[in-house]
Structure 1
Amino acid sequence: MTQVATRLPQLGDWGSLDELTELQNRQLSTTLAWAADSPFYAARFGGEAPADRADFAKLPLTSKDDLREAYPYGLLAVPRARLATYHESSGTAGRPTASYYTEEDWVDLAERYARKWIGISAQDTFLVRTPYALMITGHLAHAAARSKGATVVPGDNRSLAMPYSRVVRVLHDLEVSLTWSMPTETLLWAAAAKATGLEPSKDFPALRSLFVGGEPLSDARRARISEIWGVPVIEEYGSTETGSLAGECSLGQMHLWADRAIFEVYEPETGELRRDGFGQLVVTPLYREAMPLLRYNLADDVEVSYEPCPCGWALPTVRVYGRAAFGYPVAGAKVTQNRLEDLVFQLPVDHGVMFWRARADADLLRVQIEVADTWRDDACAALSGAIEAELAVPCEVTGVPEGTLVPRKVLTSVHDVVKPRSLFGADEDWDKALLYY
C-alpha cells in the first residue's frame, strides 16, 4: 500500500483533547493497514487485521526483543526500493534493532523535530553534534534544519575529525546560532572554550539556544548549562525507532506529539495500560509507513499528564526519567543518577563544578568532583551535607584537580586525521600505511 500524500497535522489544527483523539482515530485505520503489510504484524494478526481503536486496544505490546527477532527486514511494510534510509539503535546489545524510513516518512520526522519554540530559520547556522553513523539522531536534526533553510554544520560525534578544539573553533568562527547534542557535550565545549581563553557566555554572541537530548537531564544541570552559556537549553525526546516524540513549549513543559502518535503508559507489574500516570512509555507512530510500530514499548520511565498547559497547546505533557529511575542501593536507600546530579549542580556556579562521578558501595556513596583548589573544601562540604540531608545515605565527597576526570588534552588536542596511503619516504613512519589516523 502506498502512502497517500496528505497534509500532516500542524499545531493549532485541534482545540481540545477530544478533537485530538478524533484526529488520531482518523489516521489509525491507515496505520493499521500499513502494519498488515509487514511480515511481523501479518503473522501477529493471523490473517485478520485490526480496523479501529477498539481492535487496536486489544493488541499486545511490541518490544525491543520483537525488533531484534525481526532483524533486518521482518517489519518492512513497503518495497525496499521505496526506502530512503536505514538505521540501528545506539542502545542495541547483541542483535541489532533495525529502523527504516521512506522519503514520505522523513517529512513527518523532520517536521516533528523542527517544532522548537525558539524557531529554526534560514538565518541560523546549526551545528549537529550527535552521531551520524547508523543512529537517526544526527540525520534527524540535519533534515529538520535544512527543511527550515538553516545552514547545517555536520559536526558528528565520536569522530577523530571533530575534536573538542575544533568544535570550539567552529562555534566561534562560524557564528553558530543553534546546536544539537547531548547535555554533557555542552559542558565539555564550555571547558574546551575556557582552555583556549574564551568565555562561553560572552565570546559566542551569535549563539541563540542549545538543543539537547539523548540522556536524562536534571533541572539543576539544565539551569547550570544555561547559566554557563547564557542561552536557553531546549530538551528533545525521541528514539531511533520513532524519531522525535516530545519537545518543549515556551514555558518549559515537555509535550508529547500526540497528533503524530498515540501514547500510552504501561505498568509492568500489573500489565495495565492507561493514558497517563507513571510507567513505561508505549508509542504508536501514526505516519510511519516503511516500518509501522504498534504499541511499541520504549521501556523508558515517564510520567504523562493531561492537565492543561498555559502555553495553549492541547497536548499531553511528559516528564522523562529514562533509565534515571534505575538506582543503586546504598545503606538501605536507592540512589539514582538524576537525584544525585541535581545536588551536584545546585553547588554555586562560582565553584565551577561541571564534571563528577560516583560509586555506590554497599554502605557508602563515594563521589568525586572536579573543582579548583580555591573552592575545594567549600564544595565538598556543601555537597556532602546535601547528599546526607536529601538522600539520607552516608557519603564521602572528594575534590580532585581540574583535568582529572576530563583530561585537558581531550579538550585541546587536534587529532592527525589523514587519508590512507601505502607509499612512504625513507624517514616516514610506514606503520601508518592504510590507516586513517
Structure 2
Amino acid sequence: MPGDLPRIGDWSTYEELAALQQATLPRILAQAAKSPFYRARLGTDAMTGDPTAFHRLPTTTKSDLRENYPFGMRAVPNSELATYHESSGSTGRPTPSYYTQDDWVDLAERFARKWVGMDASDTLLVRTPYALLLTGHLAHAAGRLNGATVVPGDNRSLAMPYSRVVRALHDLDVTLTWSMPTECLLWAAAARAAGLNPGQDFPALRALFVGGEPLSQARRARISKLWGVPVVEEYGSTETGSLAGECPHGRLHLWADRVLFEVRDPDTGTISKEGAGQLVVTPLHRAAMPLLRYNLEDSVEVSYDPCPCGWVLPTVTVLGRALHGHRIGDTLVTQHRLEDLVYRLPFEYGVLFWRAQTTARHLRVEIEVTAGHRTAACAELADAVRRELGVECLIEGVDPGTLVPHDVLTGMPDVVKPRSLFGPDEDWNKAILYY
C-alpha cells in the first residue's frame, strides 16, 4: 500500500482528484468488509464502489467505536498490528484506534505535509502526550520518516518540566516543535524566568507546529511575535491522524487524496462536499481499522475556492470548539472570541495568561499583567468586551505568577526510580512511588 500512496501534484484539477478518490474507494470498502463491525452491520453486498450506494451507508460514530472496544473494528490479524491507541476523553469507555506498519507510512506522510518541511537538518521537539494517544507518536514518526532528530518531550511526564523544555530548546538547537498552542506561551514565560529572551536566544528555532485546541488569529500572532517564527497549525484526531495542514497562505487544506471528506447537515442529514456542517471522513489507506463515513462531530466549513498556494485541495475552517460557550443573558460567550480580545491587547502589556468565568448577568476575567500596565490593560479589555460581545464585565489584573505559579515554570521535580529500602534519615513514605 505505501507505494500506491498519492502525492500532492499527482492531480491538477478537482475532477482528477475525485477520480483518484473513486479509484481507491473499492479497495477500502473491501478491507472494511473484513471488520466484524462492518460485516455484521452492513453485509458484504452493501459495500460497493458506487458513489451513490456509498453515500447511503450509515455513518460510523464515536459510540460505535466505544461499543466495539477493543478490537471489534479490526480488519487484520492481531499479528499485523503495529500500535494501539485510545483518544482522550471522560466518557468512561475508551475510544480505540489501531494501525499497521503500512498505515503508519500514510499517517507520518500526512502529518509532514506542512509548508514548513522537515529534513535531516532539523531537531524536532515533540511536546504532546505519548501514552495511548496518537499525537506524540505521530509527530515522532513524521520526524523520523524525514530524517529529523526527534526529542521526545512528552508534556504529561514529570521528567520534562518547563525548565527542562527551555533547556532542551536552547541547548539542543531545536528547530521545530509540536505542541498545543498554550504550551508555546508557557515556554515563553519559562524562558523569561530563566533569564532568556524567547525571540532572541533561540536562533535555531524556525517554526512552531501546533494543534489540539482552538487557536484565534490574535493568539497565533502573539505566539509568533514572542518567538519570532511562524506558527503552523494542524488538524486531526487519534482516530484518523492528520486530516488537514497549513499552506504558506495560512489556510488549512484537507488531505482529500488520502481521505474522503463529506459535510453533513446535523439537522437534515443532507450530505454535500462543501459548506457548513459536521465533518464526515473515510480514510482511504487504512488497513487495520477502516472507518467508513466516520462522523467526527466537529463543526466545520469546507470550501473548494482556489487558494494562492496552488494546492488543488479543499480548505477547511474548524468551527467545532469555537462554537462552544456559555450564555450571559441572550449572548453566547465563547472562549475563541474572548481569547481573541485578550491577545489583541498591545504586546508590550505582556499579557500571556488569563481565565474567565460567566454568571447569569456578567463576565469576570482575570489577566496576569504587571502593575505598570494594569490599569490600561484592564480598561482596554473591558471596553473591547462590552463593545464586541455586548456583555457587562469585571476585568481584574493580577500579578504575574498568580495564574501560572513561578515554581511551575522554574521547578525541576525529583524524578527517581521507586525503591523500598531507606536509611534512618530518609523519607520512606516515597516507597514504591515516583517523585
Q: What TM-score do the two structures reach when normalised by structure 2?
A: 0.99
- For 1:285 and 1:92, locate their aligned partners in 2 and report how far apart those are by CA, in whole Å: 25
Q: What's the CA shift for 1:92?
A: 4.7
- For 1:81 and 1:187, locate their aligned partners in 2 and report how far apart those are by CA, in whole Å: 42
Quote the residue 2:406 is aligned against: 408
Out of 145-154 and 315-324, give the one that drifted further: 315-324
Count residues in correspondence: 434
- For 2:428 and 2:121, locate their aligned partners in 1 and report how far apart those are by CA, in whole Å: 46
- For 1:47 and 1:274, locate their aligned partners in 2 and report how far apart those are by CA, in whole Å: 25
Quote the residue 2:35 is aligned against: 38
Out of 43-52 and 177-186, give the one that drifted further: 43-52
- For 2:178 and 2:373, locate their aligned partners in 1 and report how far apart those are by CA, in whole Å: 32
**Is 1:275 aligned to 2:285, yes or no?**
no
Equivalences for 1:99-110 in 2 at 5 Å? 99-110=97-108
Quote the residue 2:228 is aligned against: 230
Q: What's the CA shift for 1:122?
A: 0.3
Instruction: Check the 8 A contact 1:256/1:318 in 2, yes or no.
Output: yes
Quote the residue 2:12 is aligned against: 15
Quote the residue 1:147 is aligned against: 145
Q: What's the CA shift for 1:331?
A: 2.1
Quote the residue 1:81 is aligned against: 79
- For 2:257 and 2:90, locate their aligned partners in 1 and report how far apart those are by CA, in whole Å: 28
Quote the residue 1:372 is aligned against: 370
Counterpart selection for 1:212 from 210, 215, 240: 210
Quote the residue 1:358 is aligned against: 356
Q: Structure 1 segments of 4 or more deviating over 2 A? A: 4-7
CA RMSD, 1 decimal: 0.9
Counterpart selection for 2:197 from 171, 174, 199: 199
- For 1:397 and 1:131, locate their aligned partners in 2 and report how far apart those are by CA, in whole Å: 34
Equivalences for 1:305-384 in 2 at 5 Å? 305-384=303-382
- For 2:241 and 2:150, locate their aligned partners in 1 and report how far apart those are by CA, in whole Å: 19
1:359-412 CA distances to partner (integer Å, 9 max, x unpaired)?
111110111111110111100110111111111111111111111111111100
Equivalences for 1:14-163 in 2 at 5 Å? 14-52=11-49, 53-163=51-161
- For 2:422 and 2:197, locate their aligned partners in 1 and report how far apart those are by CA, in whole Å: 43
| Structure 1: tracts of 5 or more residues without a match | none
Out of 331-340 and 80-89, give the one that drifted further: 331-340
Q: What's the CA shift for 1:347?
A: 0.3
Which letter does structure 1 place at the counterpart of 2:403? Answer: L
Which letter does structure 2 place at the counterpart of 1:35? Answer: A
Q: What's the CA shift for 1:429?
A: 1.0
- For 1:10 and 1:272, locate their aligned partners in 2 and report how far apart those are by CA, in whole Å: 31
Q: What's the CA shift for 1:427?
A: 1.1
Counterpart selection for 1:289 from 287, 290, 297: 287
- For 1:242 and 1:17, locate their aligned partners in 2 and report how far apart those are by CA, in whole Å: 23
Q: What TM-score do the two structures reach when normalised by structure 1?
A: 0.98
- For 1:386 and 1:5, locate their aligned partners in 2 and report how far apart those are by CA, in whole Å: 51
Q: Percent identity at matched positions?
A: 67
- For 1:280 and 1:195, locate their aligned partners in 2 and report how far apart those are by CA, in whole Å: 43
- For 1:19 and 1:102, locate their aligned partners in 2 and report how far apart those are by CA, in whole Å: 29
Instruction: Check the 8 A contact 1:78/1:289 in 2, yes or no.
Output: yes
Which letter does structure 1 place at the counterpart of 2:380? Answer: A
Instruction: Check the 8 A contact 1:32/1:49 in 2, yes or no.
Output: no
Instruction: Check the 8 A contact 1:42/1:49 in 2, yes or no.
Output: no
SS at 1:25's partner residue?
Answer: helix
Which letter does structure 2 place at the counterpart of 1:297? Answer: N
Instruction: Check the 8 A contact 1:308/1:314 in 2, yes or no.
Output: yes
